[in-house]
A and B are shown apart, each in its own frame.
Chain A
């Protein structure tokens, strides 16, 4: 007489899910440890395939901005236009004065024997920007093979004399820019007295600086990067002081709207 215990299952145990989880776990570890070295070269083919989708134009981000603007009250718009026209005239006059000062500065440097090596910039078009930046990076359409002066890692990326970032990776026909707000520490100088400070990038073009409370900083003080040819990066915007805190926090952001950028200038870096 054979004895068969109750509730015996003769089906093989399904290990598919376990195998899949193990494979994914191994993939995660490999990507974490060696991902960039093994697969970083894929940028060229992927960007070449996907470029026709955007055509180098942030049409969706621009559309969203324009749509938002159309909801504004007409009266506010008229007042804002009047104010902007006034500001525009003041800025034009300041620009003329600044241009003559720059020219005079360059001539004086030449006389003193300091030759300006910044040279003519390379103009680049922004082809990819993760709309409303996530990684604080941009992709440009110039590399080390498709321009007269080869782009190098460390070159400065500038827009209207405002420093935006540095070239972080170079490919034959494209390059990636690391924006300044991706830096966790950036040595800056504030105001006319060039007060040294360390700015912390908060992503999306925003920065914060922490200084002792007794250091006098005014709203509108210009902030430059002395280590990088004194490029302008922003103006002090919000200054917060608390009675219980010996430090003051200064917030500022880049005056350039990254989302609306199309063309940038690349100057040779200090490499």
Chain B
């Protein structure tokens, strides 16, 4: 529990201070490492609130990173069931 909260704090810090590709790499890594890490949607939400701009294109909603993170977590949940290292 404590580890998950510490990692969440790290993710929020990285959203604000670290390069975006580093942040996304952390999202990817911890999404696979922790089971059902839906807390990760919070830093993704913060990323969108701070940096996102409204756009007209249908493929670029305001909460693009949040939506992609939520979809990623749903996908990871299914992948984890099928990979032997998680059993």
A binding-site residues for B, Cβ under 8 Å: 17, 21, 24, 27-28, 31-32, 35-36, 39-40, 42-43, 46-47, 50, 53-54, 60-61, 64, 128, 130-137, 139, 168-169, 176, 178, 182
A42 to B47, CA, bound (A): 12
Name A's interface SS. Answer: helix
Bound-complex Cα distance A135 to B15 (A): 13
| Bound Cα distance from A136 to B20, whole angstroms | 12
* Interchain Cβ contacts under 8 Å between A and B, 20 examples: A24-B70, A28-B70, A31-B63, A32-B63, A36-B63, A39-B63, A47-B49, A47-B50, A60-B18, A64-B19, A130-B50, A131-B20, A132-B20, A132-B21, A134-B51, A135-B51, A137-B53, A168-B53, A168-B54, A169-B54
Report the Cα distance A53→B77, complex, angstroms.
32
The answer to whether A46 touches B18 (Cβ under 8 A) is: no
Also in contact, A46 and B50, with CB within 8 A (given A35-B61, A134-B20):
yes
With contacts A50-B16, A128-B16, A176-B53 taken as known, whether A27 is within 8 angstroms of B47 at the C-beta atoms is no
Please name all residues of chain A whose beta carbon is closer than 8 Å to the beta carbon of B50 when the two chains form the complex.
43, 46-47, 50, 128, 130, 139
Q: B residues 2-45 with Cβ under 8 Å of A?
A: 12-13, 16-21, 38
Q: In the bound complex, what is the Cα–Cα distance between A135 and B16 (angstroms)? A: 13
Which DSSP category, helix, strand, loop or mixed, fits chain B's interface? helix
Query: Which residue from chain B places its CB closest to the CB of A36 in the assembled complex?
Result: B62
B79 CB-CB contact with A under 8 Å? no
Contact of B53 among A17, A53, A169 (CB under 8 A): A169
- Choose among B46, B53, B71, B73 the residue that contacts A135 (Cβ–Cβ < 8 A): B53
- With A24-B70, A28-B70, A130-B47 as known contacts, state yes or no: A35 contacts B63, CB within 8 Å: yes
The smallest C-beta distance from A133 to any residue of chain B, in angstroms, reads 8
Chain B neighbourhood of A132, CB < 8 A: 19-21
Q: A42 to B50: give the CA distance in the assembly, Å.
A: 9
Taking the closest CB of chain B, its distance from the CB of A51, in whole angstroms, is 9
Contacts of A39 in B (CB 8 A): 49, 63
* CB-defined contacts of B47 to chain A, threshold 8 Å: 130
The 7 closest A-B pairs by CB, nearest first: A134-B20, A36-B62, A35-B63, A31-B63, A131-B19, A135-B51, A132-B19
Q: For residue B70, give the distance in angstroms from its CB to the closest CB of chain A.
A: 5
Q: Is the CB of B51 within 8 A of A137?
A: yes
Question: What separation, in Å, do the CA atoms of A61 and B19 have in the docked complex?
Answer: 8
Task: Compute how far the CA of A112 lies from the CA of B78 in the bound complex, rounded to whole angstroms.
Answer: 71
Q: Is B76 an interface residue (CB 8 A)?
A: no
Are B52 and A137 in touch, CB under 8 angstroms?
A: yes
Asked if residues B51 and A128 are in contact (CB atoms below 8 Å), the reply is: yes
Shortest distance in angstroms between A31's beta carbon and chain B's nearest beta carbon? 4
Contact status A32-B61, CB under 8 Å = yes
Q: State whether A54 touches B17 (Cβ < 8 A).
A: yes
Nearest residue, chain B, Cβ from A49: B46
Most buried by A among B47, B49, B50, B77: B50
Q: Which residue of A lies closest to B66 (CB)?
A: A31
Per-residue CB contact flags for chain B residues 54-86 toward chain A (1 = under 8 Å, else 0) read 100000011100110011011001000000000
**A42 to B38 alpha-carbon distance, docked (Å):** 20
Q: Is the CB of A27 within 8 A of B62?
A: no
